[in-house]
Amino acid sequence: MGFIRSRSAVAPLRRGIPLSSSAVPSARTSVAQAVALHRPEDPMHCIRPGVLSDTARSFIEAFEGAVAGDVLYAVKCNPEPAVLRALWNGGVRHFDVASPGEIRLVRQMFPEAVLHYMHPVKGRQAIRAAYQQYGVRDFVLDSMEELEKILEETGNASDLGLVIRLGLPKGNAVYDLSGKFGAPFEEAVALLRAARAAAPKIGLSFHVGSQMLEPAAYERALELAGRVIAEAGVAIDVLDVGGGFPVSYPGVTPPPLGDFMAAIARGVAKLALPSSCRIWCEPGRALVAPGVSLVVQVIKRRGNELFINDGVYGALSDAGVPGFRFPARMIRPFEAMGEDATEAFSFYGPTCDSADKMNGPFHLPADVKAGDWIELGQLGAYGSCLRTAFNGFDQARVVEVFDLPLLETPGYRLEERVA
């Protein structure tokens, strides 16, 4: 007879061959020094704890300075424990969790953290475990079916927080999120009323889409949320403006963080909410993208196409079909760097799949060759967490470094760190 074996779906990066104590870099190691030390032939994820903590601190200060609220880190964006620790050190105490695995991970790391179950559609067992085992009290929903399920699986608990996810019309974010979740206007009104009768804490949430470059999008969403609240005729305790806060990429410099906070503050001020109402947000990319980079090695050069040891089935998923460009620099620690002008390159990943291609363009010195290393920045968001083991390419190394990010986003205060 066969048997079923469970395996956790939320796990840190595989480190590859363990490092000996003599090979472990100090906390003051730069990316270039780590490359020289390890000569990595597997992808190397370079975590910048200082950048992550500074970024979290800047965001929290900006948000709390604009509204009376809480910042919930969206764990799905990067669940790597070293990343979570750095965010905690930067002041993050609330976490947007969307699965039993994320709940277990955060609760094990930070027993005193406040967890909010932000997935609008959950399994019954997941709801029971979240409430009974892990102390989760806040649940997002977007249907009467989900509301009934939550009440049944928590035994009509008297300490629930029920937050209704409001659907938004399709927007102009880089990643549109309007199709899968969100209650239409009239249903959101009915859900607010039903939640008010069932729980001591209720709220309304929305999401304008990922990598939203327009601050006014939050004002428009808040105006719609205000109409839902007015129609429902109930007082709310939480208004969640979601995530979507953008970061810089090559060719993309978003408005400063303060512009988004000002837009949210203006939108909230128009709603005449109770003074006790808390404003939430759920940043993911905005907190972690600059705090991790990826070092890959060139396996082969064919004209202006580079075959590298990571790709769309690894940490570079967004560089595939979504077409994200990442800042790139060549690292050549054992020989002099040429003075050639940069050229535009595309990448092929290590798998046998021809779809494992990243068009870029990625601008690098014209003399880049097999054996060189390339650092790609802004990969703290949806890099390590989207890795697969396809074709057997599942090994990666993780190091902590002190460098500033390859690109900085306007509005964040990052401390310069020198060796």
Q: Which residue in the list 46, 277, 281, 352 is annotated as catalytic?
A: 352
CA dist 264 and 241 (Å) reads 8
Whether 46 is a known active-site residue: answer no
Give Cα 379 to chain centroid, integer Å. 10
- For residues 406 and 327, the answer to whether their CB atoms sit within 8 Å is yes
CA dist 308 to 153, 297, 329, 362, Å? 48, 6, 14, 13
Residues designated catalytic: 352
